[in-house]
């Protein structure tokens, strides 16, 4: 089933969720719980928010590990209806689900941006006025308004001026890459890109200093990440969502068997789908490192947007994650490496997984 990434869902039991990916099982919509009420479970290691008249925790997968493990265990008991066991994955894979019967409301980014852009400008507060201005700037690229969306705090009316980000969704991978090329070349007095200091703060917060060489990290972020920057001093992040006709895989058409943690090196053959969730780099000339397994790894798949736009075709990458044997309904079996399953954050695996250009 196709349902767009980055739409927002509130459930009847009070969860605020982000749609996670563009392909979903028939049982419901795969999500990441973003804000969780504290009436059933609570964790001091997670940030607190006051939303919709409720005290909530904001789920952060990079929180202190032991506390996160305990919290997820409590979540499974408090909200068993939101835990999904995929018949196509190993039992240890963790997925969160919003079943149709549990959904209170869906906030659609396309609808939100259309409503915002139809507002009289004199009715907009400072935050919305900046978003309005930013969207008009993006439209100068030739992208149509119907191929854009606004999400997260702006969409749900939970923003705080000078603190909340501008989060924009671009519908269609072709449209996203078109917008990135535009942003590489354009200049605007309100636009600036993240500087070295700001990227290094991210580098340290996400444990990237144990994985990436600092100079290489900065080179790739500063040159390629035109999906993140500042507009009138507000941070913006631009996401891509796959249209139904362009998804690189369909839920249920492959079965995945875990072969344990492994590291692969290979040359990127195609990076076009590296901008969506899950993202994908297809490989050629791959080989497993420090492994007695003899298999050809055709894809590196990731759920963390940290690895979006990291490598381009022709470049060599190294990736560490779960090695999976893939059995398609149609076609020959192959292997892939996957980083960023939800369960990987609950073990030492979250510090071991990576994708980097070498």
Q: Is residue 311 part of a domain?
A: yes
The pLDDT assigned to 220 comes to 78
**What DSSP assignment string belongs to 264-317?**
EEEEEEE-TTTTSSSEEEEEEEEEEES------EEEEEES-GGGTT---TT-EE
Per-residue pLDDT, 209: 47
Q: What are the counts of helices (DSSP H) followed by strands (DSSP E) for the chain?
A: 8, 19
Residue 310 lies in a domain: yes
Q: Lowest-confidence range among 81-95, 128-142, 205-219, 237-251?
A: 205-219
Question: What average pLDDT does this structure show over 289-302?
Answer: 88
How many CB atoms are closer than 10 A to CB 162?
A: 10
Same domain, yes or no: 60 and 71: yes
297-343 pLDDT per residue, tens: 999 999 998 899 989 999 999 999 999 999 999 989 999 999 999 99
In a domain, 80, yes or no: yes
- Do 196 and 81 share a structural domain? no
Q: 163 vs 126, 127, 169, CA distance in Å?
A: 12, 9, 19
Residue at which a domain ends, from 45, 76, 106: 106
Gap between the Cα atoms of 319 and 283, Å rounded: 11
118 and 222 part of one domain: yes
Neighbours of 325 (CB within 10 A): 14
Res. 141 pLDDT band, cuts 50 70 90: very high
The residue out of 106, 139, 164 marking a domain boundary is 106
- Asked whether residue 58 is assigned to any structural domain, the reply reads yes
120 plus 34 within the same structural domain: no
For the chain, the domain total comes to 3
Residue 318 lies in a domain: yes
Looking at the structure, tell me whether residues 161 and 65 fall in a common domain: no
Question: Do 235 and 114 share a domain, yes or no?
Answer: yes
Could you tell me if 116 and 232 lie in one domain?
yes
Distance CA 117, CA 122 (A): 12
User: What percent of the chain is modeled with pLDDT above 90?
Assistant: 84
Percentage of the chain lying above the pLDDT 70 cut: 97
CATH number at residue 324: 2.40.50
Q: Is the pLDDT of residue 207 over 60?
A: no
Task: From 154, 162, 159, 164, select the one nearest 113 (Cα to Cα).
Answer: 154
Report if residue 157 sits inside a domain: yes
| Six-digit token string for 150 | 């606004």
Q: What pLDDT, on a 0 to 100 scale, did the predictor assign at position 212?
A: 67
Q: In this structure, is residue 3 part of a structural domain?
A: no
According to the model, what pLDDT value does residue 216 have?
78
Specify if 192 maps to a domain: yes
Closest C-alpha to 94, from 122, 75, 121, 66: 75
Contact partners, residue 34, CB within 8 Å, separation at least 6: 8, 16, 17, 18, 58, 59
Q: Do residues 127 and 139 both lie within one domain? A: yes
Beta-carbon neighbour count of residue 252 at 10 Å?
15
Averaged confidence pLDDT in the chain: 94
> Is the predicted pLDDT of residue 167 greater than 80, yes or no?
yes
End-of-domain residue from the set 241, 261, 290: 241
pLDDT range class, residue 100, cuts 50, 70, 90 = very high
CB atoms within 10 A of CB 345: 21
Contacts of 311 (CB under 8 A, 6+ apart): 268, 271, 274, 281, 317, 355, 357
Over 60: is that where the pLDDT of 165 sits? yes
Give the pLDDT band of residue 211 (cuts 50, 70, 90).
low
Cα 239–Cα 277–Cα 169 angle in degrees, nearest 5: 20
For residue 275, what are the domain limits? 253-357
The closest alpha carbon to 320, from 343, 346, 301, 298, belongs to 301
Please compute the mean of the pLDDT values over residues 33-54 and round it to a whole number: 96
The model's pLDDT over 190-200, given as tens digits with 9 standing for 90+, comes to 999 988 888 88
Together in a domain, 263 and 156: no
Separation between Cα atoms, residue 82 and residue 229, nearest integer Å: 34
> Do residues 352 and 292 both lie within one domain?
yes
Phi/psi class of residue 108: alpha, beta or left (left: φ > 0; alpha: ψ in -120 to 50)? beta
Residue in 217, 147, 134 with CA at minimum distance from that of residue 183: 134
Mark whether 21 and 124 lie in a shared domain.
Answer: no
CA 69 to chain centre: 21
**CA–CA separation, 258 vs 93, rounded Å?**
10
Q: Same domain, yes or no, for 204 and 121?
A: yes
Mean pLDDT of 153-182: 94
């Amino acid at each position: 089933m196709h349902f767009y990434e980055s739409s927002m869902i509130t459930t009847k039991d009070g969860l605020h969720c982000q749609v996670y990916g563009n392909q979903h099982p028939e049982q419901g919509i795969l999500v990441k719980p973003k804000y969780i009420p504290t009436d059933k479970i609570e964790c001091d290691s997670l940030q607190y928010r006051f939303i919709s008249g409720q005290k909530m925790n904001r789920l952060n997968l990079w929180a202190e590990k032991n506390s996160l493990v305990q919290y997820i265990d409590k979540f499974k008991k408090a909200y068993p209806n939101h835990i999904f066991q995929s018949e196509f994955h190993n039992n240890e894979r963790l997925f969160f689900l919003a079943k149709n019967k549990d959904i209170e409301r869906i906030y659609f980014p396309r609808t939100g941006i259309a409503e915002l852009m139809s507002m009289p400008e004199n009715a907009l507060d400072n935050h919305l006025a900046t978003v309005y201005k930013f969207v008009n700037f993006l439209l100068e690229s030739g992208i149509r308004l119907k191929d854009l969306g606004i999400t997260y705090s702006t969409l749900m009316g939970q923003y705080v001026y000078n603190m909340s980000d501008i989060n924009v969704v671009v519908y269609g991978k072709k449209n996203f890459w078109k917008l990135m090329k535009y942003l590489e070349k354009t200049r605007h007095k309100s636009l600036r890109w993240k500087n070295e200091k700001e990227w290094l703060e991210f580098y340290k917060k996400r444990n990237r200093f144990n994985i990436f060489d600092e100079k290489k990290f900065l080179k790739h972020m500063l040159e390629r990440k035109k999906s993140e920057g500042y507009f009138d001093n507000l941070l913006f992040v631009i996401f891509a969502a796959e249209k139904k006709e362009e998804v690189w895989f369909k839920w249920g058409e492959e079965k995945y068997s875990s072969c344990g943690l492994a590291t692969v090196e290979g040359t990127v053959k195609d990076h076009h789908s590296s901008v969506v969730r899950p993202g994908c780099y297809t490989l050629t000339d791959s080989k497993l490192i420090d492994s007695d397994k003899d298999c050809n790894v055709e894809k590196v798949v990731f759920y963390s947007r940290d690895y979006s736009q990291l490598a381009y075709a022709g470049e060599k990458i190294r990736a560490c994650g779960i090695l999976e044997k893939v059995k398609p309904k149609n076609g020959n079996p192959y292997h892939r490496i996957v980083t960023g399953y939800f369960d990987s954050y609950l073990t030492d695996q979250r510090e071991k997984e990576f994708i980097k250009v070498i």
